[in-house]
Chains A and B, each alone.
Chain A
Amino acid sequence: MDEWKPNPTVKPHKKRSWYLAWKYKLMNQRALRKLCQTGAVLFLLVTVIVNIKLILDTRRAAYEEEEESAQDYDDEMLNVEAPRHPVNNKKVLDVEVYSSRSKVYVAVDGTTVLEDEAREQGRGIHVIVLNQATGHVMAKRVFDTYSPHEDEAMVLFLNMVARGRILIFTIKDEGSFHLKETAKNVLKSLGSQVAPFLSWRDMWTFVGKKGGEVYGEKHAKSPALSTWGDPVLLKTEVHLTSVEDAECHWPDTELNRRRRRFCSKVEGYGSVCSCKDPTPIEFNPDPLKDNKVFDVPVAVIAGNRPNYLYRMLRSLLSAQGVNPQMITVFIDGYYEEPMDVVELFGLSGIQHTPISIKNARVSQHYKASLTATFNLFPDAKFAVVLEEDLDISVDFFSFLSQSIHLLEEDESLYCISAWNDQGYEHTAEDPSLLYRVETMPGLGWVLRKSLYKDELEPKWPTPEKLWDWDMWMRMPEQRKGRECIIPDISRSYHFGIVGLNMNGYFHEAYFKKHKFNTVPNVQLKNVESLRKDNYETEIHRLLGEAEVLDHSKNPCEDSFVPDTEGKVYVMFIRMEQEADFTTWTQLAKCFHIWDLDVRGNHKGLWRLFRKKNHFLVVGVPASPYSYKKPSSVTPIYMEPPAKEEGAVAVPAVAAAEQT
């Protein structure tokens, strides 16, 4: 170290130091690399951990959400009653069917689903429809095929039943007299061997699947005209199918869920339950502009005629301006099927424990329904009252919307009704024309709340008084000289042919030919002229322009009214005092309009159409309009016919229209 020789060692030193430096550098780099490597590894680890945490978090959140909705489902299940199992989960049903002169019964798995041994009742072919998957009874009908036309109803019904349903037939007493070829062929097509040869007083039972196999058939021939065939008892087994096979595969919507619930319970409603292209249960008719009756509650009064109710609600929900939320169906009695129909359409229904009997029961049902309506809609000033056997015109609400202000403002009005008692095909002409009448027609009408609450409700006939509510409402104590507004062409159509005061003959004679408006958006003519004083002006104007008919002719003859169009004619009949309707009743009879009691009059004046001419009938001298009678004209007088003819086979005159 004392003598430093730089030169020779420089290089190596240098070399070495470079090497060292390099090595150091290299080592440094290695450390750096190590550092980098460790860093990278650490970073990777952190990433992995963070990633795992994130994944876990997301998972948990998602899972929680899932769990919540799963719990929800549980919750909902708790609210639902225990699901109904198909009968014993069994795949086979034992069916017993009995047919005899005085008794029929059907038992499914030991449970009697039909038993009828009442005398003088239930004659004809009883039909029961079972659900092929559950064995539940979906429909029960009896067709009195001893009487005419009932076989047509049966064919109609059988055609409506969905394929695959189980049909059970049994005859009580007699079922072949008016069983026509068409009906027999339908039965044959269902697989019956005997049906084509069914004859007088034969006993017959049959069980088969619509469009499928036959499970059994028994028949006992009547040996002679005066005797019945021996009772027959058919015992057979029916194989159930799975629920999936029994149901249609409609898209899963709210509407279809209602439809499915309905269709798995009841039968006989035709295309609403057809798998392919079922008829809609929501109608969405055009809304009405400036609808004044949108917030008016609609009370539908119903009994146990679910098929009628179905038809009625369809037409009601198709009417323009309808507001389904305001509709309540009041069912008289705890019947399931009408309630099913109500639920099918998503409406609200209320059941009413029957009080009293017959007409008084209907009357109590009306009272409860009206009171409930005004309780449920405390804001309402009016209520629309409908019955289950009415078709509702497409412009029903438009008609009311245009006229309801009159009921609000004119104290002399009692109601607005959609029904013209005298509005038949041959006596009504003008959809835009309204009348004032002293009678209360009902059949789709508007009731003022104040009238009900202040006058009618407190003194409504009590159950022990077996009164008709409508007859009671027509009494002078209630009506107090007030009038109703009606259209010339009715906005409702009464289609019911079974009911308390109703039968086929009666319907055919008085209701079938009733005119019914089908034109939408009819603009009513001169609504203001319906006010009390304006109406008198209007009548005087009409009488002024009216042509007096030739009173020497017979008014019942066609030639009484000239073959013109659009003219106004007037005739005068004898009417000694206000309540003398002798001539009018005879005239109504020969005009083929309502003659069972007096309807449609206004101060001794009737307005209708004859051969497309406006036709006025004035009762002289009782009517204030008698002054129009030229002195040369003698009012027409018509005698009531002799007693025997008068006693037509019509039920109580009170029959009127309600059911």
Chain B
Amino acid sequence: MQKINRNVVLALLSLTSLIFLLFQLCYYKFYLSQKNGTAFSKVRGSQSDQDSTRWHVVRKFLGLTSGHNIPVYLIDPLILGLVDKDIEQIKNSPDGPNPECKYFCTPRDFTTFALLDKTWKHEVGLFRTAEKMGFQWLKIINKDPRLDGMDDLSGMEIPLHYIFKLASHAIHLVVFYERSGNFLWHGPLRLKQHMDRKFVPFRKLHFGRYPGAYEKPELLLVSIDDLKVQIPKNPSSFLEEMSHSRFLECRYREARAFFQLYPDDASLDAMEFRKKAKSLLHLAALTLNNLGVKFWLSSGTCLGWYRQCNVIPHSKDVDLGIFIRDYKADIIPAFQNAGLPLKHKFGKVEDSLELSFQGEGDVKLDIFFFYDEDDHIWNGGTQVKSGKKFKYLFPKFTLCWTEFVELKVHVPCETLQYVEANYGPEWKVPVKTWDWKSSPFNVQDNGVWPIDEWDNVIQIY
């Protein structure tokens, strides 16, 4: 009797524990699916945990933003690079099932997304939901540069970056703002005193080291790794743009100090000149951008930007620089078609090329071509009556974007060296009488054009 009892008890116990085990398994599976989604449970085996974590975090983040109607788009250089290789295939199979996690599982610390500020309302609800989903988040705010140029306005600080962290992966959300000059701007990522410096490895971020300027991208909704996500329509050109997107803000505070010292010329003439110079610059930028020729603000125009964030009213012309390697024969006809007749052409493509176009109302557009040497860059000048050549030497520089008279234009990133090379250490003091042959700090004699070449290298219209 006792024996039978024991057996029965044992059998019962086993049965119970079996049921219990099954129940536990079911529960565990349910829990997992709730946490991470089931779509990849099939693939899980083939992927390491780390890889699928990245995918899951991205999936959750996309769920979060779409739940709050926040139109983010993917700008992660790593993933866009991979996507770019298969772009045709991805475009053609918008909904096709993907056999494996090819993009979002790539090893990396971050996935970067962009958000256009005007497309969403800063709402607290997003962050509460994010917290509920298990995200930790960090918000980086700073001054609004669009108000920076203005005396004495203090707006609310604006969010520049968000970082959402879940498990071992983080989402970097870069907020883009529209600026005058019809471009998008994102701010630098600077941690404030009290912020957690170890929140994520900030140094590895792809965006935020410097502020950046971008064209407004066309977006494309694609499905990659079973996730629907917006990407720039042309990933390769976006990546190209990204590689030299660094933006320099004008030095508004220094400009204000300058105007304290040397009050601005508010005369009607000055105003008229500024208006003309601005429209000439807009026209020149349009023409050169259409040709795909990269240019930057040079000489007086660059000084005006750097010193006073405006056109210098007594400068009487607009100066641009172009690398000779970017020279195109189309430049002259393009300007003529834009209503700017060629005024003179000095030098030749091989040496000291300089073009001058006649803008509206006596304002001249000077285009200097710059020649690259091993340790410096130079451009040339020519004196009409004597055929003398001059050379202006500059230290090597790279190009940055900036905003000037409602235009997105290039300036040398190393502006101070550039301006100092050209105008000397006293560049902060306005000079009204300027001789291009002797005043520049960096001018050198460069011989004389051979007389038989004059017809070619000195053309005046």
**Chain A 47-78 per-residue mask, 1 if CB under 8 angstroms from chain B, else 0:** 11011001001100100010011011001001
Question: Which of the segments A374-382, A387-395, A427-435, A634-642 contacts the partner chain?
Answer: A374-382
Chain B, residue nearest A378 (CB): B180
Cross-chain contact B138 with A375 (CB below 8 angstroms): no
A351 to B35, CA, bound (A): 46
Interface residues of A in 259-294 (CB under 8 A from B): none
Which residues of chain B are within 8 angstroms of A353 by Cβ–Cβ distance? 151-154
Cross-chain contact A44 with B182 (CB below 8 angstroms): no
Cross-chain contact B139 with A79 (CB below 8 angstroms): yes
Which residues of chain B are within 8 angstroms of A378 by Cβ–Cβ distance? 178-182, 406
Which residues of chain B are within 8 angstroms of A47 by Cβ–Cβ distance? 17-18, 20-21
**Chain A 75-90 per-residue mask, 1 if CB under 8 angstroms from chain B, else 0:** 1001100000000000
* Residue from B28, B131, B138 within 8 A of A58 (CB atoms): B28
A437 to chain B, nearest CB (A): 28
A462 to B266, CA, bound (A): 9
Cross-chain contact A54 with B275 (CB below 8 angstroms): no
Which residues of chain A are within 8 angstroms of B195 by Cβ–Cβ distance? 78
Which residues of chain B are within 8 angstroms of A375 by Cβ–Cβ distance? 146-147, 149-150, 179-180
Interface residues of B in 99-141 (CB under 8 A from A): 118, 121, 123-125, 131-132, 134-139
A68 to B131, CA, bound (A): 8
Which residues of chain B are within 8 angstroms of A6 by Cβ–Cβ distance? none
A375 to B31, CA, bound (A): 50
**Chain B 435-453 per-residue mask, 1 if CB under 8 angstroms from chain A, else 0:** 0000000000000000000
| A79-B194, A459-B271 as given contacts; A371 in contact with B150, CB under 8 Å | yes
Which residues of chain B are within 8 angstroms of A374 by Cβ–Cβ distance? 180
Which residues of chain A are within 8 angstroms of B27 by Cβ–Cβ distance? 54, 58
Which residues of chain B are within 8 angstroms of A352 by Cβ–Cβ distance? 152-154
- Can you list 17 contacts pairing A with B, beta carbon distance less than 8 Å? A43-B18, A47-B21, A57-B28, A58-B27, A58-B28, A65-B134, A68-B136, A349-B156, A350-B154, A353-B151, A355-B151, A372-B146, A375-B146, A375-B150, A379-B178, A379-B182, A458-B274
**Chain A 346-384 per-residue mask, 1 if CB under 8 angstroms from chain B, else 0:** 001111110100000000000010011011111100000
* Residue from A33, A71, A379 within 8 A of B136 (CB atoms): A71
Cross-chain contact B136 with A72 (CB below 8 angstroms): yes
Interface residues of B in 143-178 (CB under 8 A from A): 144, 146-147, 149-156, 166, 178
Cross-chain contact B17 with A43 (CB below 8 angstroms): yes
A460 to B18, CA, bound (A): 86
Which residues of chain B are within 8 angstroms of A36 by Cβ–Cβ distance? 7, 10
Chain A, residue nearest B199 (CB): A75
* Residue from B20, B35, B147 within 8 A of A61 (CB atoms): B35
Which residues of chain B are within 8 angstroms of A69 by Cβ–Cβ distance? 131-132, 134, 136
Cross-chain contact B155 with A348 (CB below 8 angstroms): yes
Cross-chain contact A43 with B14 (CB below 8 angstroms): yes
A372 to B20, CA, bound (A): 67
Cross-chain contact A51 with B275 (CB below 8 angstroms): no
Chain A, residue nearest B139 (CB): A79
Number of contacting residues on A, CB 8 A? Answer: 48
A352 to B153, CA, bound (A): 4
Which residues of chain A are within 8 angstroms of B11 by Cβ–Cβ distance? 40
A371 to B6, CA, bound (A): 91
A565 CB–B CB distance under 8 Å: no
Cross-chain contact A254 with B31 (CB below 8 angstroms): no
B373 CB–A CB distance under 8 Å: no
A325 CB–B CB distance under 8 Å: yes
B374 CB–A CB distance under 8 Å: no
Cross-chain contact B147 with A351 (CB below 8 angstroms): no
**Chain B 1-42 per-residue mask, 1 if CB under 8 angstroms from chain A, else 0:** 001001100110110011011001101100100010000000
Interface residues of B in 246-268 (CB under 8 A from A): 266, 268
A454 CB–B CB distance under 8 Å: yes
Cross-chain contact A351 with B154 (CB below 8 angstroms): yes
| A51-B24, A61-B31, A69-B132 as given contacts; A350 in contact with B13, CB under 8 Å | no
Chain B, residue nearest A258 (CB): B124
Cross-chain contact A58 with B125 (CB below 8 angstroms): no
Which residues of chain A are within 8 angstroms of B136 by Cβ–Cβ distance? 68-69, 71-72, 75
B88 CB–A CB distance under 8 Å: no
A57 to B156, CA, bound (A): 45
Chain A, residue nearest B118 (CB): A325
A436 to chain B, nearest CB (A): 28
Chain A, residue nearest B144 (CB): A376
Cross-chain contact B132 with A72 (CB below 8 angstroms): no
* Residue from A41, A78, A257, A368 within 8 A of B152 (CB atoms): A368
A94 to B132, CA, bound (A): 45
Per CB-CB distance, the 10 closest pairs between chain A and chain B, nearest first, are: A353-B152, A47-B17, A350-B155, A378-B180, A375-B146, A40-B10, A458-B271, A40-B14, A54-B24, A72-B136
A227 CB–B CB distance under 8 Å: no
A54 to B28, CA, bound (A): 7
B248 to chain A, nearest CB (A): 17
Which residues of chain A are within 8 angstroms of B180 by Cβ–Cβ distance? 374-375, 378
A325 to B119, CA, bound (A): 10
**Chain A 321-364 per-residue mask, 1 if CB under 8 angstroms from chain B, else 0:** 00001000000001000000000000011111101000000000
B284 to chain A, nearest CB (A): 18
B240 CB–A CB distance under 8 Å: no
Interface residues of A in 444-459 (CB under 8 A from B): 453-454, 458-459
A37 CB–B CB distance under 8 Å: yes
B455 CB–A CB distance under 8 Å: no
